[in-house]
Structure 1
Amino acid sequence: MASVSRTTRRRERIMAVVNRDPMEAPHKTRTDALIAGGAGALSVVLALLTDPARTPGAFGWVLLIASAVPIAWRRRSPLLALLAMIPLLVPYHALDNAHAAPMPQTWIALYTVAVTGRPLRTLLTGIGVLSVMVTVVLTINAHQGLELLRISGWVVAVLFCGVDMRVYRQYMASVLERAERAERTREEEARRRVAEERLRIARDLHDLLAHSITLIGVQTSVASHILTVDPDRLDRHAIATALEDIADTCRGARAELRTTLEVLRDGGHDSHGRPGTEDPLPDLAGLPGLVRAAEAAGAQVDLAVHAPAGRLAPATGAAAYRIVQESLTNAVRHGGAGVRVSVAVVPDGDGALRVTVTDDGTGLPKDGSTPGFGMVGMRERARSTGGTLDAGPRPGGGFEVSALLPFQEGEPTP
């Protein structure tokens, strides 16, 4: 396993070097200086072995070794490095020295021009270099000129290799860029979903706790009033009714809170780790329960529900339920004792559901206190279904909440 891991890491390092832009490689000058030294050494070996009859003289050796020096700056200015080699190689070939000896530095310079430049520049450079080399050698030795022309295919192959490597690196760069863009998109989508889920949980907890705590507070006040107004004529039945209403409210709140916490704890999976089915959303069928809880707190509620002809989308039903719940909570909290509330949920046109909750109480507090999140939550729920919500005091007194929700016929649940 260790050898496989080392092999994998070595392969990854090699591919990283291959895919990396040569103009962005670290230690460019030091690396190119070593390459220039290696090319010069290889040229000396070729001059000694390939054609002993044309072994360079002292001046030829100077020209041959000097032609490898520009390779040290090949990545800073590839074309200038190649042009700097031409004045050195022209007299070298003109002296009829070993013509194959300067090939290493020539190939390296041509490859660098091809891998860093555009194809048109590479083509023109290759034609120019070959023309100069063949012309010079032909004027000296026709046989050597034809031989040089015959092996010029290697020069063309080097140029094509450079162009191919440049195209490959551009392709890999585009692939990496697309992968990074896709990763950023996934991360942004994940953050957006987390934010939406946090907002949904905040709305659900607010609706649940605010509604239940408000009802418990009102029912407790009723029991306290009965106990303190006339202790000599204790109405045990009224106290028992108030306490039972408090217990019912606590049980309902505890059950709904447990469901929410189980979803948060399990992450939407069952005990075996499989994706679980989502808990059913509240809908219009739960409105009578809200009315009974509000009436137990002292409100007088008139409920009128006319379901649309098509099947109501679960999100729309849940939004209508939560809007009515928050509206009743505000009416009980701010409307005063015996507040009258009218709840109407009826179709509005062909594709919308109108939810209207009006009361004759004093409305929201006007004492300058900081408003809560109930109104914000109702508007967000309406917007989440593509609907709108208006809320404010009524001209004749009281408060009105009116929401228009597109009911969108939902798909049957499998």
Structure 2
Amino acid sequence: MSADQALLKRLADAALAVVIGALTVSAAAFDQDTTPLDHALIVAGSLALAAYRKAPRVVLAVTTAALSAYALHAQPGPVAALPVVAAVHTAAQAGHRAVGAAAGAVFLGAYLAAGPVTHGTVERTALLAGWFLCAVVSGLAGRNWQAYLRQTEQRALEAERTREEAALRRAGEERLRIARELHDSLTHSISIVKLQAGVAVHLARKRGEEISPALLAIQEAGGEAMRELRATLDILRTDEPTGTPALLVERARAAGLTVDLTVTGRERPLAATVDRAAYRIVQEALTNAARHAGPAKIAVQLDYGEGELTIRVDDDGTAEPSCPPAEGIGLTGMRERVTALGGTLRAAPREEGGFSVRAGLPLEHA
């Protein structure tokens, strides 16, 4: 329950107590024998109803005692029982049916003993007994109704959770289907490229010709792309990372990039979500640098703080602050990963030239 809802309930309870008190005081004003003490008893017994949610038995005791004393002193009409009827109803609704019935009996005894027993007094007492019986029964019915509403709400929540689980399961199945389709399609095309490059390398060696570095790079890149596709399919199946940023740096160096890796802080195992996000951020940053930075130097920094892992990938390429690049799919996916973990990301050209990617991943969130 929110604070606003709790406040509204307290105001509603206070308004109910004021209305009941006002009705009882108004009826007592027409009795000539009503004294200031009687008005004080009515007000005390009525205003106590404002706390019936927190302490229904205490409210029942206070209201019954105050109004019984008023009945014994002033011999009022049947309206004097209204606060006690309300207290009996709320007590029965809270599960205290026997206590509520006993309180009603106490008030009826006081009401009957307040004056001479006449035919009219007996009729009024019988009428009040019917009121109290209705209060107990309606309170019990209200309690059962509340229990039914709670069960209905729980069933609705359970049904909603089941629907969400089914939707997640269907999404996972669709993700695997897409992964298999991409793997089969792209692997076929890349394998042909790799095969052709391998044949060309083999023929060049057989003829004793010098092998072009570009041809070797194509062959190596094809094999690396196939491994990456298999690794991606494994991630979609298991949702686990397939390497480390250090391995990505080694692969980038093998592909001809100039990359330096710096690790500071207390290096330690990370949660799967943070580990996977760090791997993908470094991978995407290195990929963007290889595509757009040209023959640049790249610096990868990992700082293991107490509560945050800071990742920074800088290059001294051709990017300029005056011409910021459009954010593509790679940077968008990177930002979504960081945002999902409650972290921060800045990807923009540097003032001194080149491009910088800086991500902060909170460790306690994971």
TM-score by structure 1 length?
0.45
Report what 1:129 is aligned to.
Answer: 103
Report what 2:176 is aligned to.
Answer: 199
Deviation at 1:128, TM superposition (A): 0.6
Rate the CA distance shift 1:43–1:226 in 2: closer, same or farther, 3 A: same
How many pairs align? Answer: 219
Rate the CA distance shift 1:215–1:48 in 2: closer, same or farther, 3 A: same
Q: Is residue 152 from structure 1 mapped to residue 126 from structure 2 by the alignment?
A: no
Deviation at 1:81, TM superposition (A): 0.9
Task: Write the deviation string for residues 235-273 of structure 1: whole angstroms up to 9, x where unpaired.
Answer: xxxxxxxxxxxxxxxxxxxxxxxxxxxxxxxxxxxxxxx
Task: Write the deviation string for residues 97-155 of structure 1: whole angstroms up to 9, x where unpaired.
Answer: 2131323312221222122x22xx21x12321232123223333323145212332122
- Output the amino acid matched with 1:45: S
Structure 1 segment 224-263 matched on structure 2, within 5 A: none
Rate the CA distance shift 1:62–1:192 in 2: closer, same or farther, 3 A: same
Rate the CA distance shift 1:216–1:131 in 2: closer, same or farther, 3 A: same
Report what 1:252 is aligned to.
Answer: none
Report what 1:76 is aligned to.
Answer: 54
Report what 1:37 is aligned to.
Answer: 18
Does the CA contact (< 8 Å) of 1:28 and 1:75 recur in 2? no
SS at match of 2:60: helix
Structure 1 segment 330-369 matched on structure 2, within 5 A: none
Distance 2:20 2:86 in 1: 8
Task: Write the deviation string for residues 141-200 of structure 1: whole angstroms up to 9, x where unpaired.
Answer: 323145212332122212222222222222122212211221122112212221222122
Rate the CA distance shift 1:155–1:219 in 2: closer, same or farther, 3 A: same
Rate the CA distance shift 1:110–1:25 in 2: closer, same or farther, 3 A: farther
- Output the amino acid matched with 1:160: V
- Output the amino acid matched with 2:133: V
Report what 1:212 is aligned to.
Answer: 189
Larger RCO (CA within 8 A; separation ≥ 6): 1
Distance 1:166 1:150 in 2: 24
Which residue among 59, 62, 72 is the counterpart of 1:94?
A: 72
TM-score by structure 2 length?
0.50
Task: Write the deviation string for residues 324-357 of structure 1: whole angstroms up to 9, x where unpaired.
Answer: xxxxxxxxx99xxxxxxxxxxxxxxxxxxxxxxx
Report what 2:351 is aligned to.
Answer: none
- Output the amino acid matched with 1:128: A
Distance 1:96 1:42 in 2: 17
Which residue among 127, 135, 153 is the counterpart of 1:176?
A: 153
Report what 2:260 is aligned to.
Answer: none
SS at match of 2:79: coil
Does the CA contact (< 8 Å) of 1:134 and 1:148 recur in 2? yes
Distance 1:86 1:46 in 2: 18
- Output the amino acid matched with 1:107: V
SS at match of 2:76: coil
Which residue among 138, 144, 147 is the counterpart of 1:161?
A: 138
Unaligned runs of 5+ in 2: 209-218, 238-366
Report what 2:84 is aligned to.
Answer: 106
- Output the amino acid matched with 2:162: T
Distance 1:89 1:106 in 2: 7
Distance 1:204 1:198 in 2: 10
155-164 vs 54-63, which moves further: 54-63
Rate the CA distance shift 1:188–1:26 in 2: closer, same or farther, 3 A: same
Percent identity over the alignment is 28
Does the CA contact (< 8 Å) of 2:56 and 2:90 recur in 1? yes
- Output the amino acid matched with 1:196: E
Distance 1:95 1:200 in 2: 84
Q: Is residue 60 from structure 1 mapped to residue 28 from structure 2 by the alignment?
A: no
SS at match of 1:152: helix
Does the CA contact (< 8 Å) of 2:81 and 2:128 recur in 1? no
RMSD: 3.9
Rate the CA distance shift 1:217–1:85 in 2: closer, same or farther, 3 A: closer
Does the CA contact (< 8 Å) of 1:134 and 1:145 recur in 2? no
Task: Write the deviation string for residues 71-94 of structure 1: whole angstroms up to 9, x where unpaired.
Answer: 232222111011012222222222
Q: Is residue 26 from structure 1 mapped to residue 26 from structure 2 by the alignment?
A: no
